[in-house]
Structure 1
Amino acid sequence: MEDWSKDFFEVMENAVSEVEHFFTDMSEEFVEMLDILAHISEEFTDQVQNNLISEVDGYLNEFDGYFNEFLEPIIEICRDFDPEFDEIDLSMVTYVNPSPTQHPVCRGCTNYHGQVYGGNLLVCAMHPTGVESESCADWEADSDGIF
């Protein structure tokens, strides 16, 4: 009868060993699968950042250019009819492009900031409210070359 119990415990130990081996193999396979998925997601993210975002940014910049080309003549006509038109409420605007009438010296300058904070336009760090003269000593050509 002792042989029977000894055989039973051997079978049980083998079964436990096989189950443990199975779960070890499964966990290793699962880790490999997760590593592959992480690598694929990193590649996908890189592709999105490198291609899609730059493409969308290009389209948005192109749209911005067309939109400005569309609006500038309308703004010029409004200025002709209303002398107080330049006193725009800047609290609703987040970016102001330099134009022939507003900060013309800043057109094409890489230092131009043009963001509105609390209704106040920050022209650039050197000249927060802009320059009053016909030229600026701190003017640097914009690398884009878009004026």
Structure 2
Amino acid sequence: MDDWLTEWVNTLEKTMTEAVIQTAESIEAWTDNVVDHLDQQLEEAVLWSQERSDEVYQQLREVFPLDELSQDIDRTFDDWLEGLEFLLFDEESPDWGVSDPRENSDPFIHITYVYPSKTTHPACIGCQHYHGQRYDDTLLVCGMHPYGWDGENCPDWEGRF
């Protein structure tokens, strides 16, 4: 009598296991399909946004001369677009930037960007080496002069273009 009961339980276990596996595979396929669709929609939105920002940028260049304001706008657009491109189009990091070395790995460190101005690091305005990231209370100005250049003309200054 135990043989048929054991056989019935084993058959029931096998059937349930196969059903669970089929359900999990169906859910995984559906999820992959949804993620692919959302990824495609997001890429299209980013490309549209980039085209619009390029149009706005060109209009701003026509209206404003290349002065400190337009250089700040240029740097802001470049930083914004560079971040989006890295997250969405970098083939080596399909995990959407989780392995980005520029990403703050410590959630308790607050990172902000400090723009050079006539009163704060004027020798760095328009320099391609300017880093300008403040990590909590510590500002890293650039690799050659971590605390900034004291004078008005830095010997390592190089323009962005």
Coarse TM-score class (shorter-chain normalised): 0.3 to 0.5
TM-score where L is the length of structure 1 = 0.42
TM-score where L is the length of structure 2 = 0.40
Q: Which has the larger radius of gyration?
A: 1
